[in-house]
Amino acid sequence: MDRAHAASLDAADPLARFRDAFVLPEGVIYLDGNSLGPLPRAAAERSERAVREEWGRGLITSWNAAGWIEAPQRLGGKLARLIGAKPSEVVVADSTSVNLFKLAAGALSLQPGRRTLIVESGNFPTDVYVLEGVCALAGATLKVLPPDEVVAAVDQDTAAVILTHVNYKTARRWDMAGVTAAVQAKGALMLWDLCHTAGAVACDLNGVGADLAVGCSYKYLNGGPGAPAFLFVAERHQAQIRSPLSGWMGHAAPFAFEERYRPSGDIRGMLCGTPPILGLSALEAGLDLQLEADPALVEAKGQSLCRLFIDLVESRCAAHGLVLTGPREMAQRGLHVSFAHPDGYAIVQALIARGVMGDFRDPDIARFGFSPLYLSHADVWDAVEILREVLETRAYEAQEYRTRSAVT
Amino acid sequence: MDRAHAASLDAADPLARFRDAFVLPEGVIYLDGNSLGPLPRAAAERSERAVREEWGRGLITSWNAAGWIEAPQRLGGKLARLIGAKPSEVVVADSTSVNLFKLAAGALSLQPGRRTLIVESGNFPTDVYVLEGVCALAGATLKVLPPDEVVAAVDQDTAAVILTHVNYKTARRWDMAGVTAAVQAKGALMLWDLCHTAGAVACDLNGVGADLAVGCSYKYLNGGPGAPAFLFVAERHQAQIRSPLSGWMGHAAPFAFEERYRPSGDIRGMLCGTPPILGLSALEAGLDLQLEADPALVEAKGQSLCRLFIDLVESRCAAHGLVLTGPREMAQRGLHVSFAHPDGYAIVQALIARGVMGDFRDPDIARFGFSPLYLSHADVWDAVEILREVLETRAYEAQEYRTRSAVT
* CA proximity to B119, closest of A261, A29, A201: A261
**Residue from the list B125, B245, B251 with its beta carbon closest to the beta carbon of A98:** B245
> Measured between alpha carbons, how far is B33 from B171 in angstroms, rounded to an integer?
14
- Average pLDDT for chain B: 97
**Residue from the list B44, B60, B95 with its beta carbon closest to the beta carbon of A56:** B44
**Chain B CB within 8 Å of residue A136 CB:** yes
Contacts of A43 in chain B (CB under 8 A): 51
**Chain A CB within 8 Å of residue B332 CB:** no
* CA proximity to A279, closest of A109, A75, A56: A75
Q: Give CA separation, B233 vs A229, A255, B95, B243, in Å.
A: 26, 30, 16, 11
3-state SS class at A145? strand
Q: Give CA separation, B151 vs B163, B185, B195, in Å.
A: 11, 10, 21
Is A36 domain-assigned? Answer: no
**Chain A CB within 8 Å of residue B151 CB:** no
> Measured between alpha carbons, how far is A72 from B289 in angstroms, rounded to an integer?
30
pLDDT digits (tens, 9 = 90+) for B99-145: 999 999 999 999 999 999 999 999 999 999 999 999 999 999 999 99
For the stretch A276-299, what's the b/e string if a residue is b when 16 or more beta carbons lie within 10 angstroms of its beta carbon? bbbbbbbbbbbbebbeebebeebb
For residues A30-54, average pLDDT: 98
What's the total number of domains in chain A? 2
Sign of CA dihedral A271, A273, A274, A275: negative
pLDDT of residue B148: 96
* CA proximity to B124, closest of A302, A251, A24, A223: A251
Contacts of B38 in chain A (CB under 8 A): 55-56, 59
Mutation test of the interface with chain A: which of B22, B49, B60, B368, choosing the one with the most A Cβ atoms within 10 A? B60
Is B35 domain-assigned? Answer: no
Whether residue A194 is predicted with pLDDT greater than 90 in this model: the reply is yes
Return residues 305-324 of A near B (CB < 8 Å): none
Give catalytic residues of A, as residue numbers.
124, 193, 218-219, 367
Sign of CA dihedral A161, A165, A167, A170: positive
Contacts of B138 in chain A (CB under 8 A): 137-138
**Chain B CB within 8 Å of residue A44 CB:** yes
3-state SS class at A249? helix
Q: Give CA separation, B180 vs B173, B191, B208, in Å.
A: 13, 9, 7
Contacts of A97 in chain B (CB under 8 A): 245, 247-249, 272-274
Q: Which CATH number does the domain housing residue B319 bear?
A: 3.90.1150.10
Return the residue of B nearest to A358 by Cα: B60
Is B36 domain-assigned? Answer: no
> Measured between alpha carbons, how far is A93 from A274 in angstroms, rounded to an integer?
9
pLDDT digits (tens, 9 = 90+) for B212-249: 999 999 999 999 999 999 999 999 999 999 999 999 99
Whether residue A362 is predicted with pLDDT greater than 90 in this model: the reply is no
* B36·A61 Cβ contact <8 A: no
For residues B58-82, average pLDDT: 97
Long-range pairs for A135-139 at CB < 8 Å and ≥24 separation? A136/B242, A136/B244, A136/B246, A137/A105, A137/A244, A137/B105, A137/B137, A137/B138, A137/B244, A138/A105, A138/A108, A138/B137, A138/B138, A139/A115, A139/B139
Confidence category of residue B404, pLDDT binned at 50, 70, 90: confident
**A349 in the same domain as A260:** no
pTM of the model: 0.97
**Residue from the list B56, B98, B228 with its beta carbon closest to the beta carbon of A39:** B56
**A381 in the same domain as A302:** yes
**Chain B CB within 8 Å of residue A145 CB:** no
Give catalytic residues of B, as residue numbers.
124, 193, 218-219, 367
* A282·B280 Cβ contact <8 A: no
3-state SS class at A144? strand
**Chain A CB within 8 Å of residue B147 CB:** no
pLDDT digits (tens, 9 = 90+) for A210-240: 999 999 999 999 999 999 999 999 999 999 9
End-of-domain residue from the set A291, A320, A335: A291
**Chain B CB within 8 Å of residue A26 CB:** no
**Chain A CB within 8 Å of residue B224 CB:** yes
**A163 in the same domain as A107:** yes
Contact in structure between B96 and A248 (CB atoms under 8 Å): no
Contact in structure between B388 and B336 (CB atoms under 8 Å): no
**B155 in the same domain as B257:** yes
Confidence category of residue A1, pLDDT binned at 50, 70, 90: confident
For residues B256-277, average pLDDT: 96
pLDDT of residue A403: 85
Is A37 domain-assigned? Answer: no
Half-sphere exposure of B319 (CA within 13 A, CB side): 7
Is A39 domain-assigned? Answer: no
Confidence category of residue A137, pLDDT binned at 50, 70, 90: very high
pLDDT of residue B362: 87
Contact in structure between A211 and A190 (CB atoms under 8 Å): yes
For residues A200-217, average pLDDT: 97
Mutation test of the interface with chain A: which of B249, B257, B262, B404, choosing the one with the most A Cβ atoms within 10 A? B257
DSSP state of B398: S
CA B209 to chain centre: 20
Contacts of B25 in chain A (CB under 8 A): 56-57, 59
pLDDT of residue B307: 98
pLDDT digits (tens, 9 = 90+) for A387-405: 999 999 999 999 999 988 8
**B321 in the same domain as B333:** yes
* A97·B258 Cβ contact <8 A: no
Is A106 domain-assigned? Answer: yes
- Gyration radius of chain A's alpha carbons: 22
End-of-domain residue from the set A291, A320, A347: A291
Contacts of B228 in chain A (CB under 8 A): 276
Chain B closest-CA separation from residue A1 CA (Å): 31
End-of-domain residue from the set B271, B291, B311: B291
> Measured between alpha carbons, how far is B106 from B272 in angstroms, rounded to an integer?
13
Mutation test of the interface with chain B: which of A274, A336, A371, A408, choosing the one with the most B Cβ atoms within 10 A? A274
DSSP state of B332: G
Whether residue A78 is predicted with pLDDT greater than 90 in this model: the reply is yes
* CA proximity to A209, closest of A85, A118, A110: A85
> Measured between alpha carbons, how far is A17 from B36 in angstroms, rounded to an integer?
40
pLDDT digits (tens, 9 = 90+) for A231-273: 999 999 999 999 999 999 999 999 988 999 999 999 999 999 9
Contacts of A30 in chain B (CB under 8 A): 59
DSSP state of A261: -
Contact in structure between A395 and A360 (CB atoms under 8 Å): no
For residues B71-97, average pLDDT: 98
**B304 in the same domain as B280:** no
**B222 in the same domain as B119:** yes
pLDDT of residue A406: 77
Return residues 342-401 of B near A (CB < 8 Å): 352, 357, 359, 361-362
Sign of CA dihedral B402, B404, B405, B408: positive
Confidence category of residue B3, pLDDT binned at 50, 70, 90: very high
Contact in structure between A14 and A348 (CB atoms under 8 Å): no
Size of interface A-B (CB pairs under 8 A): 305
**B162 in the same domain as B49:** yes
Chain B closest-CA separation from residue A84 CA (Å): 25
* B70·A406 Cβ contact <8 A: yes
Strand segments, DSSP code E, in A147-259 are 158-164, 189-193, 212-215, 230-233
Whether residue B71 is predicted with pLDDT greater than 90 in this model: the reply is yes
* B225·A23 Cβ contact <8 A: no
Sheet holding A365-369, edge to edge: A323-325, A336-340, A365-369, A359-361
Residue range(s) defining the domain that contains residue A377:
3-30+294-401
**Residue from the list B39, B132, B248 with its beta carbon closest to the beta carbon of A261:** B132
Whether residue A408 is predicted with pLDDT greater than 80 in this model: the reply is no
Burial of B134 (0-12, 13-18, 19+ CB in 10 A): buried
Burial of A2 (0-12, 13-18, 19+ CB in 10 A): exposed
**B210 in the same domain as B91:** yes
pLDDT of residue A404: 84
Is B189 domain-assigned? Answer: yes
- Is the peptide bond between A263 and the residue preceding it cis, with omega within 30 degrees of 0? no
**A177 in the same domain as A96:** yes
> Please, what is the Cα angle at B34 between B67 and B172, to 5 degrees?
120
pLDDT of residue B1: 81
* B406·A69 Cβ contact <8 A: yes
CA A222 to chain centre: 10
> Measured between alpha carbons, how far is B27 from B293 in angstroms, rounded to an integer?
26
Which residues are paired to A190 by β-bridges? A161
**B275 in the same domain as B252:** yes
For the stretch B191-224, what's the b/e string if a residue is b when 16 or more beta carbons lie within 10 angstroms of its beta carbon? bbbbbbbbbbbbbebeebebbbbbbbbbbbbbbb
pLDDT digits (tens, 9 = 90+) for B340-397: 999 999 999 999 999 999 999 988 999 999 999 999 999 999 999 999 999 999 999 9
Q: Which CATH number does the domain housing residue B200 bear?
A: 3.40.640.10
**B298 in the same domain as B368:** yes
**Chain A CB within 8 Å of residue B143 CB:** no
> Measured between alpha carbons, how far is A248 from A89 in angstroms, rounded to an integer?
19
Is A72 domain-assigned? Answer: yes
